[in-house]
Structure 1
Amino acid sequence: MNLEVRHVTASEFPDWTRALDTGFLRPPVMADEVVAGRLASTDLARTQGAFDNGRCVATFRSFTQELTVVGGAVLTADAISNVTVSPTHRRRGLLSRMMAADLTAARERGDAVATLIAAEYPIYGRYGFGPATSITEWSVDVPRAGLDPRWASPADGGRIDLVDGADIRKLGPEFHDRFRALQPGATDRDERWWQLNTGQAPSGHAWTEPFYAVYRSAAGEVEGLAVYTADSTWGDGKQPLNTASVRRLTALTPAAERALWRFICSIDWITTVRTGYRAPDDLLPYFLPDPRAARIVTHADYLWLRILDVVRALEARTYAVAGSLVLEIHDDGGPAAGRFRLDASPAGADCAPTTESPDIALGARELAALYLGDASAVRLAALGVLTEERPGAAAVAESLFRTARRPWCPDVF
């Protein structure tokens, strides 16, 4: 079968969109205005398709992204999205061809890392990606939580206001830039993101207008945003059994975060709160007098990372303690392959190729899993995917790479 893999032209973009929606099991017919909106925000020079006799049967797109790493520095990432292969053309190497072309271009541009959200776990490890952040979702049984039913407003002098999408488009970008500077694993949001996520731009999918809540400190500064929807469910005896589903909730301080969760849990008729995807060590359960009222309903990997430039990536972040480590990285001829000496500290790091004997040996996938501080070097050694070449070196790697709070990516892309 003669399958051509190449960049997509503007005239082919509607067919590429059809293939994309086919791959994600969405209706493969989309309004012209939605296709035009997608095209306007798509860099065709970074949009690939596989074609069989002129029909698009696989899709792949990347774009420039800013990723916050440990210590607050920002790395330019090659963000990969919209990856599909039509069910009629699986197992023909189409993803491998598109991935190779994209990562080669990313290295030539000087991107230090590549990122993606993996729909399926087994796919991307063979390309050197590793799961770098995780997510957990809770379902909160509000009546059981033990919260004071007399609560009406934050006790710290702050206030919560309900606003609309237009307000969020004004307040949100500046607030999110402040938030992501504090949160390893967070990424930037462009103008189209705000338009799509406030219903201003059509996405091609049914839009449900949510509620927007803003927390302002006593000084009037925006320090938290929450977006949620609610259903309308009533039980026997005319009792309300409504569920609030949080689409996103981010805050600059624990006080702001606590106030927003307390507000959502205090809404009349709400008996269940679904939290949406949170960091695994989220504070929410312990904001409740009875943490057992928060039941975990989802726990999974989330943001996947691929190191393209080891020296730049390792020097960009800070480390929990001071120490040195020689890493032997296996990458099957890929860009992360080699032996590197890392001299790290809470203030920063120096990294360079070396011929010294290695302390640990690991794959590019495992390095990516360690990079943002989520994975445990000691556990990776126990699993046999990280090798101690010097006794105690895994513990040193653990103390260097692990972070006090786990990284979190609050967005899908």
Structure 2
Amino acid sequence: MNEIRTLQPQEISESFALSQFAFQYELSAEEQAERSRLTDPKQIWGCFVQEKLAAKLHLLPFHTWLNGQRFAMGGIAGVATWPEYRRNGMVAKLLLQALKVMKEQGQTLSFLAPFKFEFYRKYGWETYIDYLKYEIPVDKLPKFQASEGSSIIRVTRNWELLNPIYVQHALRFNGMLERDADWWNNKYFKHKSGMVALYENAHGERTGYVFYHIKEYTATIHEMVFLDEDARRGLWKFIADHDSMITKVEVKAPLDDQLPFLVHDPKFKQEKITYFSARIVDVEAFLAQYVFATRKAAEPVYLRISDPHADWNNGVYCLNFTGSGEKAQVTKLAEGELPAEELLVNCSIQTLTALFMGYQKAGFLARIERLQGSQEPISRLEAAIPKRTTYLADFF
């Protein structure tokens, strides 16, 4: 009989052993002691066979932003199974348990980095991010000029200096992490080498930063954040001024980044990377919190959702736009309250997630038959969803 439960403190070393085997890395005794200190065993769910850990996943508490609204999000990480127990449905059981726990904890969203997208799609997660990866030769770096009176200030790795800038930047996207002191210090800075420089404009306002590392003539930009065009130009001029010691710059950027259009020669390596997956955990609570595009009162939208792995999501939801605000009145309808079939928009939980994260539009999803319904309610649904780029600068 398999048992699914959270780990006990004395079982943390078993979890580390499984992770090192599955993800092919080694921890020194010092690293293991440090990770033990920082790891909460209650955040690790294990499947035990005869009291031995056979499979596990980490369920991490996060918050993310979606259309500027803060959402509680459960991050799935460290999913692994010993080879002798694989293909016995243990990960499926752990994922279903995680969904129940996230719902109980009020986490209406879940993110994960899939080893194989099709595997997690079976359980309701769907792709929500693509990002750009640039490799820019030094002779093709931007030839920007910094604004008069602006300055670059090299600083220590002080999260309190960077976080106010990061938050303003992150709010522009759907799917960025809210970072606290622990995340900045023990995850973000911990495993990256390099320096941090702040951009200060002519008014003394700090409107950007860059965290970067130079090794073997390559400048790796871990993160470049700018709140306006002035900061973008100032930070890129700063990086370009390293030209005597580098041959190229590597950096990742959101999918809507416009740097190639701004430089004198955009013919450098640009790669599109598909990254994380997301899942709506609790449809009713999620829709009630969701910020829609500002609009006048309109006809309601009726969504019929199918979710074979979280039965609490199955059903028909009425989104009633009664005023000029950005929230909808959300009602899950009983069987006798259902509207006429031609008013319904039907989709799976994966499609709903791709749509409401802003990753895909309703019109496209209808064309590929991931959304089913009449044109008029589908058009109203598309108009109600704000247009915003999805992005995630972190990993877990």
User: Which of the residues 338, 357, 364 maps onto 2:315?
Assistant: 338
Match of 1:271 in 2: 247
CA pair 346-124 structure 1, distance change in 2 beyond 3 A: farther
Match of 2:282 in 1: 309
Cα pair 1:43 1:63 within 8 Å, conserved:
no
CA pair 162-40 structure 1, distance change in 2 beyond 3 A: same
TM-aligned CA deviation for residue 120 of structure 1: 2.2
Deviations 1:240-286 (A, max 9, x none): xx32121112222233233223322332233322113x211113223
Deviations 1:106-160 (A, max 9, x none): 1122222222222321121122112222222122234145x43xx6x62164322
TM-score of the aligned structures, taking structure 2 as reference length = 0.88
| Partner SS for 1:6 | strand
**What amino acid is aligned across from residue 107 of structure 1 in structure 2?**
K
Distance 2:13 2:45 in 1: 13
Query: Are 1:261 and 2:240 an aligned pair?
Result: no
RMSD of aligned residue pairs (Cα, Å) = 2.4
Cα pair 2:173 2:389 within 8 Å, conserved:
no
**What amino acid is aligned across from residue 375 of structure 2 in structure 1?**
P
1:234-383 → structure 2 map (5 Å cutoff): 242-269=217-244, 270-276=246-252, 278-293=253-268, 295-302=269-276, 304-320=277-293, 322=295, 323=298, 324-332=300-308, 334-344=311-321, 347-354=326-333, 355-357=338-340, 358-383=343-368
Match of 1:236 in 2: none
| Partner SS for 1:18 | helix
Deviations 1:211-248 (A, max 9, x none): 2221122232322121122232xxxxxxxxx3212111
Distance 1:351 1:257 in 2: 41
TM-aligned CA deviation for residue 55 of structure 1: 4.3
CA pair 197-16 structure 1, distance change in 2 beyond 3 A: closer
User: Which of the residues 141, 158, 168 maps onto 2:150?
Assistant: 158
User: Which of the residues 163, 175, 184 maps onto 2:174?
Assistant: 184
Cα pair 1:258 1:287 within 8 Å, conserved:
no
| Partner SS for 1:107 | helix
CA pair 88-135 structure 1, distance change in 2 beyond 3 A: farther
TM-aligned CA deviation for residue 18 of structure 1: 1.2
Query: Are 1:398 and 2:395 an aligned pair?
Result: no
Distance 1:156 1:98 in 2: 57
Distance 1:291 1:350 in 2: 47
Distance 1:3 1:360 in 2: 40
Cα pair 1:133 1:372 within 8 Å, conserved:
no
Match of 2:204 in 1: 220
TM-aligned CA deviation for residue 17 of structure 1: 0.8
For structure 1, the residue ranges without an aligned partner over 5 or more in a row are 202-206, 233-241
| Partner SS for 1:365 | helix
Match of 1:69 in 2: 66
Distance 1:315 1:211 in 2: 42
Percent identity over the alignment is 23
Match of 1:210 in 2: 194
Distance 2:188 2:364 in 1: 41
Match of 1:40 in 2: 37
Aligned pairs, number: 383
